[in-house]
Amino acid sequence: MTQIDTVLYTGKTRVVGGREGFAKSTDGRLDVKLSPPGSTGAGTNPEQMLAAGWSACFIGAMGKAAAKLKTRLPAETAVDAEVDLGMAGEAYLLRARLNVSLPGIERAVAEEIANLAHQTCPYSKALKSNIDVTITVI
């Protein structure tokens, strides 16, 4: 495992009540109610938050990859993330799909950008060997 030399940022949160509670960051910028997936509760769930955080990070990584390839990401760059919570026997597991939209970029270049981003995005690196991940340029 690669060790961090320099910490760039530390996100700090406190969750009370698990999937039926709330999550707050220490700086007050995040303050959300939590609800179990598929429930009628008013809050979000960890799978949605993972999908949102990973997508935002992945777009940042695509920006770095595009710059390396001497191109720019279009303003309409988007990632539609799907994070599944499932079971295998008695074990809970996650599975994810990132559907990448890079309008106006040639498909081969878009796929290379997405591929490079998946190799460098910290979320991707943390998850790609631990859960089933599919990256698709749409």
* Mean model confidence pLDDT for the chain: 96
> Domain range spanning residue 70?
46-137
Report residue 90 as tokens.
């008695």
Q: Which one, of 30, 43, 32, 123, lies nearest residue 79 by Cα?
A: 123
Same domain, 8 and 61: no
Can you point out the beta strands (E) in the chain?
Answer: 13-16, 22-25, 31-33, 78-88, 91-101, 132-137
Same domain, 8 and 21: yes
Number of domains, the chain: 2
Same domain, 61 and 31: no
Same domain, 102 and 73: yes
Same domain, 50 and 92: yes
In the chain, the percentage of residues whose pLDDT exceeds 70 is 100
Same domain, 37 and 76: no
| pLDDT (0 to 100) of residue 108 | 97
**DSSP line for 11-34:** --EEEESGGGSEEEETTSS-EEEB
Report the CATH number at residue 129: 3.30.300.20
Same domain, 17 and 63: no
Report the CATH number at residue 24: 2.20.25.10
Question: Global pTM?
Answer: 0.93
Same domain, 3 and 38: yes
Tens of pLDDT, residues 85-125: 999 999 999 999 999 999 999 999 999 999 999 999 999 99
| pLDDT (0 to 100) of residue 13 | 97
- Whether 1 shows a pLDDT value over 80: the answer reads no
Same domain, 38 and 53: no
